[in-house]
Copies of this chain bind each other. A is one copy, B any other.
Amino acid sequence: MPDPVAPNLVAAVSEARQWQRLMEMGAIGGFSDADGNEGVNRACLTDLDRQARRLLISWAEAIGLTASTDILGNLFLRHEGTDPTLPPVVTGSHMDSQPQGGRFDGIWGVIAAFEAVQALREAGIATRRPVEVVAWTNEEGGRYAPGCMGSMAYAGYAPPTTWDAVTDKDGIRFGDALAEHLALEADIARRPLGTVEGTAPFAYVEAHIEQGPRLEAEGFDIGVVTGIQGSRWFLVEINGKSDHAGTTPLGLRRDAVQDMLRAITALNALMHDPSDVLRFTVAHIEVEPNTSNSVAAVARFTIDFRHPDNAVLQARGNAIEGVIQAALKTCTAKVTERFHAIPTDFAPLVPDAVEGAARAQGLRALRLPSGAFHDAQFIHPLCPTGMIFVPCRAGVSHHPAEYAEPGALAAGARVLAQVLADLANR
């Protein structure tokens, strides 16, 4: 069990300061939608992303933290421990957003980590271990798929050049965008990628809005995340032939849109789940030449498939390609898996620390799994890992209507501060 709650540490967490910083960050790439919601479009490795990172660094330097980045652009802000040689406690999340995203997903985990570290310092609580605030590169996968590139490379899950040839919608390669980014941040100290000489972090803690409805609906303040469901992403390209829409009989066509329709219909049947636990989503479609009177030569679509049970994730995920091939009538298809994260069960260290801190502060805590994937999923094999969830309105995220109460976010930062004080002194 953690130490009893330290009143001066809890008091040092500022609800107003944290909220003000979130709003400042939300203005970088911020927009209002037609319903008056305040959203954010801040894609990774863009000028807006760099503007947000520079703002964070300016805050960090003002309180004496040291900034460094690695060759994937992961950004670290180090609070030194009384024994700098010990493996650090790492805490943070990501700063990139969905194209039409909200002001809390990801960025709050970075700002909460920063708020917690600032509170530690202002409360005069030294820690044996260093604490590093991290902002991982490209968690969302909105500009470059898949997501979690920064944490995957950090954890050694994939070599750092794995995604160099991935292009965004303007045809810009990830490798080129990253090289430009590193050149523009050349003034920031460079650190090695990942862990050096096998020295993994002591623990990793990530704070995040729930992105689901349970905490709000069931009246809890804090989610003690027990694990993350598995995710598999696929890209499907269907190749047919373009023809004149007015002259070519339907019986002679190889229409990529029509075969895409057959493929998705067959996948809907494969993914049918009366218990509604399985998540199956087709949300990205591209057609070529995409002109209304030329039969489609190419149709591409993505599959986002998730399940908490690895047996289901493997069985149905492995069936996807065969189901698509069998559904086609006139075209050919190429199916590529772009992302594969098996379900994660966190070790007890961090969840227990989170639950203990929440209870010590008189907060109502619920143990629950995460429906969304997070960078924590890839750090999990390196060291004891966990997450802190706070409620978000109606469970909405990846949308400008995403919202969390200032008080709920402050409660999350207070729990995180106590968890850091606990873990960094073990």
Contact = CB atoms under 8 A, between A and B. Distances in A.
Interface stretch (A21-29, A120-128, A190-198, A246-254): A246-254
Contacts of A231: 246
Interface in A222-278: 229, 231, 233, 241-251, 255, 257-258, 261, 264-265, 268, 273, 276-278
Contacts of A233: 292-293
B285 A244 contact: no
B243 A279 contact: no
A296 B279 contact: no
A372 B247 contact: yes
B290 A285 contact: yes
A294 interface: yes
A261 B250 contact: no
A98 B372 contact: no
Nearest to A235: B292
A2 interface: no
Contacts of A372: 244, 246-247
B242 A100 contact: yes
Q: Is the interface of A mostly helix, strand, loop or mixed?
A: loop
A282 B291 CA distance: 9
A44 interface: no
Size range of the chain A interface in the assembly: 35 or more
A242 B398 contact: yes
Instruction: Give the most central of A147, A245, A249, A258: most B CB within 10 Å.
Output: A245
A5 interface: no
Contacts of A395: 247-248
A64 interface: no
Contacts of A248: 212, 279, 371, 395
Given A141-B292, A292-B141, A302-B292, A257 B285 contact: yes
B293 A397 contact: no
Interface in A184-220: 210-212
Contacts of A426: none
B284 A255 contact: no
A273 B306 CA distance: 40
A243 B304 contact: no
A304 B100 contact: no
A351 to B, nearest CB: 19
B289 A245 contact: no
B247 A212 contact: yes
A378 interface: no
Contacts of A304: 245-246, 292-293
A419 interface: no
Given A241-B399, A243-B396, A284-B291, 9 more contacts: A100-B242, A142-B291, A211-B246, A245-B398, A250-B278, A250-B279, A261-B268, A283-B287, A283-B291
Interface of A: 98-100, 140-142, 145, 147, 210-212, 229, 231, 233, 241-251, 255, 257-258, 261, 264-265, 268, 273, 276-285, 287-297, 299, 302-304, 306, 371-373, 395-399
25 contacts: A98-B289, A98-B294, A99-B290, A99-B294, A100-B289, A140-B293, A147-B293, A212-B248, A243-B399, A245-B279, A245-B281, A246-B306, A250-B273, A251-B276, A255-B283, A261-B261, A261-B265, A281-B293, A281-B295, A283-B287, A283-B291, A284-B291, A285-B299, A292-B303, A294-B399
